[in-house]
């Protein structure tokens, strides 16, 4: 196993940045195999070294977190019985045995999708109790009506009788068929069914954020980027809905 720098080992497995790690090392808070290390650029064996920060053991297990800007036409699954899966879009050198898409976007949807082998994080993120907010931009078949805003705010009742949690809705200025939606849950085809319940229908849909993790503008459709542990923690912070609506109002150029 090749040796790697101590600061890299820690930053790949914890929320600490390299500069914080340097400071912690200087303060004598980091030990490797029981010996305090004041310099964070030393090399260690990532599989067999016992690294502790302030007494906390840093697991040698390194999870992978990939953010994909999902294109249309791929299913969010590891099983290709229903068509090509998003796993095909992850570069081979980033793939690990237990990786899976954490969450679902429909085959015809675009946008932010986390792919990981960290089952515990995925569970935490997808658990109904966590209510991680997700923001989408949708293109409607018919013009947006302002009455939708209160209907979504009060909780849409789906034709099945299911009640949706309150959702934020905002039309895109000067585009009468585009709107942003913020959901705190993930029912099957939820946005399509919500607009169906108010007599409209969704032509295209893209997810622009998951919690505080926002789709970077530079990440082209179909491309992946690897996330660091500290980026992943953003999943559990709240997004700024107003800022996202402002920044993504041009996203519709990706819609046909």
Which residues here bind ligand URA, judged by CB under 6 A?
Answer: 105-106, 109, 189-192, 205
| Cβ pair 225, 216 in contact under 8 A | yes
First to last CA, the chain: 48
Residue 45 or residue 106: which is nearer to ligand URA going by CB?
106
Which residue number, 40 or 190, has a Cβ lying nearer to ligand URA?
190
| Residue with Cβ nearer ligand URA (205 or 210) | 205
Kind and range of the H or E element at 26? helix 18-26
Q: The tokens 């041009």 sit on which residue? A: 250
Residue 220: HSE in the Cβ half-sphere, 13 Å Cα cutoff: 1
Minimum CB distance to ligand URA, residue 6 (Å): 41
| DSSP designation for 228 | P
Cα separation, 237 vs 1, whole angstroms = 36
Closest distance to ligand URA from the beta carbon of 32 (Å): 45
Instruction: Render 146-182 in DSSP notation, one character per residue.
Output: THHHHHHHH-PBPTTSPBPPP-EEEEPTT-TTEEEEE
- Minimum CB separation of residue 225 from ligand URA in Å reads 21
Distance of alpha carbon 32 from alpha carbon 10, whole angstroms: 11
Interatomic CA distance for residues 193 and 240, integer angstroms? 25
Least distance to ligand URA, CB of residue 184, Å? 12
Helices (H), the chain: 6-13, 18-26, 119-126, 147-154, 190-197, 229-232, 241-247
- Residues serving a catalytic function are 106
Nearer to ligand URA, 85 or 109 (CB): 109
Q: Residue 1: count other Cβ atoms within 10 Å of its Cβ.
A: 7
Q: Name the minimum Å distance from CB 190 to ligand URA.
A: 4
The residue (of 170 and 192) whose beta carbon lies closer to ligand URA is 192
């Amino acid at each position: 196993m090749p040796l790697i720098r101590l600061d890299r080992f820690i930053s790949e497995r914890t929320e600490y940045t390299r500069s914080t790690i340097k400071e912690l090392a200087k303060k004598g808070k980091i030990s490797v195999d029981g010996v305090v290390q004041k310099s964070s650029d030393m090399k260690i064996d990532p599989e067999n070294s016992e690294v502790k920060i302030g007494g906390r053991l840093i697991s040698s297990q390194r999870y992978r977190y990939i953010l994909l800007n999902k294109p249309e036409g791929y299913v969010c699954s590891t099983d290709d019985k229903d068509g090509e899966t998003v796993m095909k879009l992850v570069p081979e050198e980033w793939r690990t045995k237990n990786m899976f898409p954490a969450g679902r976007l429909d085959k015809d949807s675009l946008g932010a999708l986390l792919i990981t082998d960290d089952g515990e994080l995925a569970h935490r993120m997808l658990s109904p109790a966590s209510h991680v907010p997700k923001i989408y931009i949708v293109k409607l078949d018919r013009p947006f009506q302002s009455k939708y805003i209160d209907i979504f705010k009060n909780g849409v009742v789906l034709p099945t009788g299911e009640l949706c949690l309150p959702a934020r809705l905002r039309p895109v200025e000067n585009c009468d068929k585009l709107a942003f939606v913020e959901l705190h849950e993930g029912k099957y085809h939820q946005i399509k069914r919500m607009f169906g319940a108010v007599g409209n229908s969704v032509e295209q849909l893209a997810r622009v954020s998951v919690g505080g993790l926002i789709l970077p503008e530079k990440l082209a459709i179909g491309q992946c980027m690897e996330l660091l542990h500290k980026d992943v923690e953003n999943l559990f912070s709240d997004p700024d809905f107003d800022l996202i609506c402002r920044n993504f109002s041009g996203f519709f150029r990706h819609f046909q």
